[in-house]
Amino acid sequence: MSYTLEGATGTWEVVIGLEVHAQVTSNAKLFSGAATEFGAEPNSQVSFVDAGFPGMLPVINGECVAQAVRTGLGLNAQINLWSRFDRKNYFYADLPQGYQISQFEFPIIGTGEIEIQLADGSVKNIGITRLHLEQDAGKSLHDQHPTKSYIDLNRSGVALMEIVSEPDLRSPEEAGAYLTKLRQILRYLGTCDGNMEQGSLRADVNVSVRKAGEGFRTRCEVKNVNSIRFVMQAVEAEARRQIEVWEAGEEVVQETRLFDTSRGVTRSMRSKEDAHDYRYFPDPDLPPLVLDAAWVEQLKAGLPELPDARRARYVGDYGLTPYDAHVLTLEKETAAFYESVAEGRDPKMAANWLTGDFFAGLNRTGHSIGDSPVSAAHLGELLDLIKDNTLSGKLAKEVLEAMFETGKAPSVLVEERGLKQVTDTGAIEAIIDEVMAKNADKVAEYRSGKDKLFGFFVGQTMKAMQGKGNPTLVNDLLKQKLA
Ligand code: ADP
Ligand code: MG
């Protein structure tokens, strides 16, 4: 089922390609040793290189190169053993060098592919055109002083990967799924933290529209969209705008636009006519970047298991549904947590508890898996207490709630609160006898054929036992005694 939009002249398709800027996870910048920590005092992480002092020479940070190669490998992409840095020249107050060191003609990573998962269960492959390394610029602060703008150069020189997709995406959903999957892969690899609120990951969204069977029409680029939801909204808003332009008999002009998140519309930022001429040329301060094939192989051997492989393993080895496997592998912290709970236990039972009451508990208490008050070891212990009949499913839910509130081990809570399930048949029989004695009329009705009353007896017995009777035993013994 394909996504289309209806206009006055008929049905339109949408074509989307994303250019994603991902900040490389690294302690130091791309060409200097300055720190990259988020939220530091303005201008406290700036070397002479980052400040553009004359005569300073850039020196490539090997770890940033390794991160780009790992990312390329994770995107099933061509690793270019020979690549080159170019100067992209433009003037801006937060760019002290007067140029950005980037890669233009010869990027470090060539074509690759990402498989995206869609809500209807289908999958689609999206082509990656390239990935290149470049420096980030500084930041202008316009809201600190009534008449002055301040400049913070902490970000100046931080390593970015620009990851460009082919125009293979056809709907807001596909664009969202692509960005979600890309972020997931980057996080699994540990090459970018994917934090869109902090700007570690931002997307330029290229959109065009066309009638079925046509070639591509002119696109516009919506710059710097900083959440997956906004990317999806920007695609639709921009596509609708372009349809109106075409249908009014005008032409869409190629330009850069911004998405106004409060009004849900895009507006023009600059047109093709005032587009920069960047006068790219090879950076004379840097030799070409030449990689050793054996080093690339070594990085490949050191890659962690990626989401697709992990999901397949959960379905194949653990027997989980594709949906549960998908949910449990979305974040690698969740997957690691799950595996440690499932280790040596029933993997399906572990998956059910995790995706059910455990996730609900995290939500309720406002925690994420990283700072969960319930550890994997404690959740595993809880499952063991269910397995060995110490706790019924219902009591276990109560214990889990208490675990979220107190952070205590389930065995401790069972002890403290006297929640242990009663499996002593003698004790259960004694309660059943009491219940039957108190409700002699109902016993007679039951025996004369009113089967529905069985539930009443289960309820009364459980109530008398404060919910602690083993449900199977209570049922079996009641059946025997009422017969
Ligand atoms: P430029 O270098 O001018 O930015 P590119 O060819 O690199 O142009 O394309 C940039 C992005 O625009 C890519 O993600 C690409 O997939 C996307 N794109 C190209 N043509 C179209 C189109 N007609 N409609 C939508 N997206 C497009
Ligand atoms: Mg571009």
pLDDT for the residue numbered 256 = 94
CA distances from 358 to 270, 324, 343, 372, 415 (A): 49, 14, 17, 10, 21
Phi, psi of 94 (to 5 degrees): -95, 15
- Reported pTM: 0.86
- Kindly give the number of the ligand 1 atom that is closest to the alpha carbon of 207: 25
pLDDT for the residue numbered 465 = 84
pLDDT for the residue numbered 84 = 98
Quote the ligand 2 centre to 162 CA distance (angstroms): 9
Quote the ligand 1 centre to 26 CA distance (angstroms): 29
In this structure, what token pair is assigned to residue 173?
């959903």
In this structure, the residues whose C-beta lies within 6 A of any atom of ligand 1 are 15-19, 164-167, 206-208, 216, 219
Task: Go through the domains of the chain in sequence order and give each one's CATH number.
Answer: 4-297 (no CATH), 305-417 (no CATH), 425-482 (1.10.10.410)
The ligand that comes nearest to the alpha carbon of residue 219 is: 1
- Kindly give the number of the ligand 1 atom that is closest to the alpha carbon of 165: 14
pLDDT for the residue numbered 274 = 61
Beta bridge partners of 111: none
pLDDT for the residue numbered 419 = 79
pLDDT tens-place string over residues 453-483:
898 988 888 888 887 888 888 888 889 998 8
Quote the ligand 2 centre to 163 CA distance (angstroms): 10
pLDDT for the residue numbered 423 = 81
pLDDT for the residue numbered 159 = 98
Handedness of CA 303, 304, 305, 308 (dihedral sign): negative
CA distances from 62 to 45, 51, 65, 69, 88 (A): 19, 21, 5, 11, 22
CA angle 147-152-158, nearest 5°? 150
Phi, psi of 78 (to 5 degrees): -65, 125
CA angle 238-225-177, nearest 5°? 80
The list of the chain residues with pLDDT below 50 reads: none
Ligand 1: which of 164, 208, 238 to mutate, most ligand atoms within 8 Å of CB?
A: 164
> Which residue's CA lies nearest to atom 11 of ligand 1?
17
> Which residue's CA lies nearest to atom 17 of ligand 1?
17
Quote the ligand 1 centre to 9 CA distance (angstroms): 26
> Which residue's CA lies nearest to atom 7 of ligand 1?
164
The ligand that comes nearest to the alpha carbon of residue 165 is: 1
Phi, psi of 403 (to 5 degrees): -65, -40
Of 240, 247, 218, 115, the C-alpha closest to 168 is 115
- Give the chain's length: 483
pLDDT for the residue numbered 273 = 62
The ligand that comes nearest to the alpha carbon of residue 19 is: 1
> Which residue's CA lies nearest to atom 5 of ligand 1?
164
